[in-house]
Amino acid sequence: MDRYLEFAGNHTLLVVALVASFFLLVFTELRRKASGILTVSPADAVALINKDALVLDLRSVEAFGRGHIVNARNVPFDELDSRLGKLGDLASRTVVAVCDTGMSSQKAVERLRAAGVEHAYGLKGGMAGWSQDGMPVVTSKKTATARKGKNK
């Protein structure tokens, strides 16, 4: 124990920086929890999707066509408010909102929760984080090919 105190005495600036970093981390997490905005990692999103969560892709139609999560519904962020009523009974389902980097999905989660969707989450890192973690992406061409194969 004496060695720790000796280190702290000799390296006051390092110890102060460590303590400040710790309190900043705790403060940030508490503020995030208090605001009700919850994000999930790609792995956690997969677990939610496997439990029948609805994935709302908030990106443009073009970005959605370049690649999206399997069975995701494309609702561009600008159209979210007007299309909330057309999305069925969202209040009883878990919803994972996805955008490019995770920023727009936080705003969408706020709107969804204000509309009564208690289990709304944003994907941490958005599609960039999803792809970075090596998760599968479906393109529109593959989806169209799969539909043609089913119709034969």
Quote the pLDDT of residue 132: 92
Burial code (b: 16+ CB inside 10 Å, e: under 16) for 35-69 equals eebbbbebeebbebbeeebbbbbbbeeebbeebbb
Strands (E), 50-101: 54-57, 73-74, 95-98
Quote the pLDDT of residue 146: 41
Q: Domain 39-140, what fold?
A: Oxidized Rhodanese; domain 1 (3.40.250)
> Does pTM surpass 0.75?
no
- pLDDT tens for the 152 residues of the chain, in order: 889 999 999 999 999 999 999 999 898 778 766 665 588 999 999 999 999 999 999 999 999 999 999 999 999 999 988 888 777 677 788 999 999 988 888 889 888 888 888 889 999 999 999 999 999 999 876 444 443 444 44
Ordered by start, the domain boundaries in the chain are 2-35, 39-140
Quote the pLDDT of residue 32: 67
> CB-based burial of residue 107 (10 Å sphere; 0-12 exposed, 13-18 middle, 19+ buried)?
middle
Report d(CA 53, CA 82) in Å as an integer.
Answer: 21
Quote the pLDDT of residue 141: 60
